[in-house]
Amino acid sequence: MTRRPARLPSYAGWLVVLGLLAAGCTTAGEPAAPAPEESGSPAAEPFRAPELDGGDATGGAPAFDGRLAVTLGDAQRRVIREPCTANAIERLCGSSARFALLPRGEARPLTLVAATTTTAPDGLTWQVRLDVAPADAPLPRPAPGLVQVLRGAGGVELEVGDDARVTGRTILLRGLTKSAAWGLVERLRNAAGRR
């Protein structure tokens, strides 16, 4: 009876190979390749929404720099209900609602001196910064249960909602789409040109 030499199970060989690879073993005494963070290459770009791509640091965004007379006042949001229209097929009644901003109290006159738009720190939305003249600071806070409305020439009407940050002489509107942010600054710039 001839005896065969003992063999290691086949998976043991693979374990040795994987262990050498995990330990960073190299051939012919060459140093291991540097890790990506050690290679000096720039870090991977953070995720950005496609709509944020643009030209320069502000994405080529419009800006307003000048003087525009506006008012800032409290308002109450009211729902304007439209008549219910029944669906002929399913016999369901559906309606849509719009909102109106009803002024409450006196609006305060202000002078808007700058409006810029940039991407938000999250890299996914846009924000608009509105600056008023130093003489108009500090900006008033809305009364409880109300919102603020900024109105200006050319039919500019802007709700300053709960997500906006009002500090000193600055209103920061956050969470906007690119088209909403750019459109707002364009409307302000156009309104200032109509004086």
Q: Is there a domain that residue 95 lies in?
A: no
Question: 61, 54 in Cβ contact below 8 A?
Answer: yes
User: If pLDDT is split at 50, 70 and 90, which confidence band does 2 have?
Assistant: low
- In this predicted model, what pLDDT tens digit does every residue of 64-118 receive, in sequence order? 999 999 999 999 888 776 666 666 666 666 556 677 888 888 999 999 999 999 9
User: Is the bond preceding residue 138 a cis peptide, omega within 30 degrees?
Assistant: yes
Is residue 172 included in any domain, yes or no?
A: yes
Higher-pLDDT residue of 54 and 129 is 129
Between residues 55 and 148, the one the model is more confident about: 148
Q: 88 lies in a domain?
A: no
- For residue 92, tell me if it sits in a domain: no
- The alpha-helical segments, DSSP class H, found in the chain are 10-22, 178-193
User: What are the tens digits of pLDDT across the range 145-167?
Assistant: 888 999 988 788 888 888 889 99
Phi-psi region of 34 (alpha: psi -120 to 50; beta: other; left: phi over 0): beta
The whole domain housing 144 covers 50-76+103-193
Query: How many separate domains does the chain show?
Result: 1
In-domain check, residue 17? no
Helix (H, G, I), strand (E, B), or coil: what is residue 62?
A: coil
Q: What is the pLDDT of residues 124-144, one digit of tens each?
A: 999 999 999 999 989 988 888
- Percent of the chain residues past pLDDT 70, beyond the cut: 60
pTM: 0.62
* Predicted pLDDT at 143: 83
Q: Distance (Å, rounded) from C-alpha 143 to C-alpha 123?
A: 32
Residue 65 lies in a domain: yes
DSSP 151-168: EEGGGEEEEE-TTSEEET
Question: Tell me: the pLDDT tens digits for 93-106?
Answer: 655 667 788 888 89
Radius of gyration of the chain (CA): 31
- Domain assignment present for residue 89? The answer is no
Is residue 137 one of the residues assigned to a domain?
yes
Query: Which neighbouring-strand residues pair with 110?
Result: 70
